[in-house]
Amino acid sequence: MAALLVAGFALVACGGSPSNGGSTATKYTVGVSNTLTGNGWREEMICSIKAQAKASGVVSKVIIANRTTDAAGQIADIRNLISSGANVIVINPSDRDALNSVIKQATDKGIVVVAVDQAVSEPSAYVVTNDQVAYGNLGADWLAKKLGGKGNIIEMRGINGVPADTDRHQGLTAALAKYPNIKVVKQTFTNWSLDPAAQQMKDIFSSGIKFDGIWTSGIDSTVVDQFQSSNKPFVPIVGADNNKFVQELATLKDKGLTGAAVTNPPPIGGAGLAVGLATLQKSHSYDHVIHLTPQVWDNTTADGAAKLAQTYDSTLDPYYSVAFDVKPYTTYTKQDLIACQGPG
């Protein structure tokens, strides 16, 4: 994973023969633009793209622009990917609208552009994402019901202004509109990073703010860890289907932890590449917008507890999602994802 943290471009795979048993000669170059490093979810997303590129048997090269940057930096990275001869570019966009002109520049050249995880508004791009509005709505609704429709909650968001954060907040706001006695008494932006989230929880404990529950945009196990290290009694916590949080929900209920994981699979990256390659090859026609429907796994019901126990995976990184594929789009194995190797 250390290689993924290097800013700029890295040629990560080249050459090789089809790995899916087919006879089609490898010929396509795949570009990837990611703007957040040091995040397990994004690392798994990139690994899924590399694994799907290899499994497809039609990719000769994967070029990754992987650095923490803003929309201006991502525009520069996408331009470089265009110049590098990419046939498909998979992006996790830093902004819904700001990338439109460079995306149009790419698609006008016949490059297939697929936005994954977060949406863009450029109509020539394909969008393959989890339904992020539903993600926020489902988790907030579960939390409100768990609190009996009244109480104070903390909202721990992601990166201010990026599409997924805006959509999740929209979903949370819509859900809480049905519960006028639920109040958001503190809102933070964690940047989907562990250290800021940990410090924010320490500050919240020190502030004396009274709260009854916490909704997080995926920085969940970090919050649980802070409750434990500060010796504070748990409140209900909502997070994502991250491996460590799933394990905590499955094992810490007898210590007072109640919570729910809302699914948000990083292999949406590999799914996006599969859509892009099929579009490029004209082997399948896809809608320009594809949304996965998230699920809620809570540890307060028998079905939810069973799902959590079944999906925790000790072979995966603690900060990976427990999801290793997105069917029917991805065709690689879990071993392929863990190996995190592209073609060659």
The pLDDT value given to residue 77: 98
Q: How confident is the model at residue 156 (pLDDT cuts 50, 70, 90)?
A: very high
In the chain the domains, ranked by start, together with CATH numbers, are: 2-131+266-293+319-339 (3.40.50.2300), 132-262 (3.40.50.2300)
* One-letter-per-residue 3-state SS of 61-121: EEEEEECCCCHHHHHHHHHHHHHCCCCEEEECCCCCCCCHHHHHHHHHCCCEEEEECCCCC
Q: What is the pLDDT of residues 69-121, one digit of tens each?
A: 999 999 999 999 999 999 999 999 999 999 999 999 999 999 999 999 999 99
Q: What is the pLDDT of residues 41-80, one digit of tens each?
A: 999 999 999 999 999 999 999 999 999 999 999 999 999 9
Is 23's pLDDT higher than 80?
no
The pLDDT value given to residue 21: 38
Q: What is the pLDDT of residues 158-168, one digit of tens each?
A: 999 999 999 99
